[in-house]
């Protein structure tokens, strides 16, 4: 079960999210509410093949969290 690490660009809050399903992906920072916290790469999360199940946007790097919430930054 992958645990994703995120770093908020706005308030620099670091947090981890246990991902059991796609809807667990965070759409914003739990500290300040800023949208699209940046995913901090961890070897554990990157090595987790279940990331590929997120196929909202074919043009995005796998694991882009904002795709799951419908705000794909790579697609307009």
Longest dimension (CA), the chain: 31
Residue nearer to Zn ion on the CB measure, 6 or 67: 6
Q: Distance between CA 32 and CA 6 in Å, rounded?
A: 13
Q: How far is the CB of 30 from Zn ion (least distance, A)?
A: 8
Residue 47: C-alpha distances to residues 40, 50, 69 (Å): 13, 9, 23
Q: How far is the CB of 49 from Zn ion (least distance, A)?
A: 29
Residues that bind Zn ion (CB under 5 A): 8, 10-11, 13, 29, 31-32, 34
Q: How far is the CB of 59 from Zn ion (least distance, A)?
A: 27
């Amino acid at each position: 079960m992958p645990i994703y690490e995120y770093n908020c660009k706005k308030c620099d809050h670091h947090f981890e999210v246990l991902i059991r399903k796609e809807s667990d992906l965070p759409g914003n920072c739990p500290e300040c509410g800023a949208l699209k916290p940046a995913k901090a790469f961890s070897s554990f999360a990157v090595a987790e093949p279940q990331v590929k199940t997120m196929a909202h946007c074919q043009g995005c790097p796998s694991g882009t969290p904002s795709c799951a919430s419908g705000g794909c930054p790579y697609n307009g």
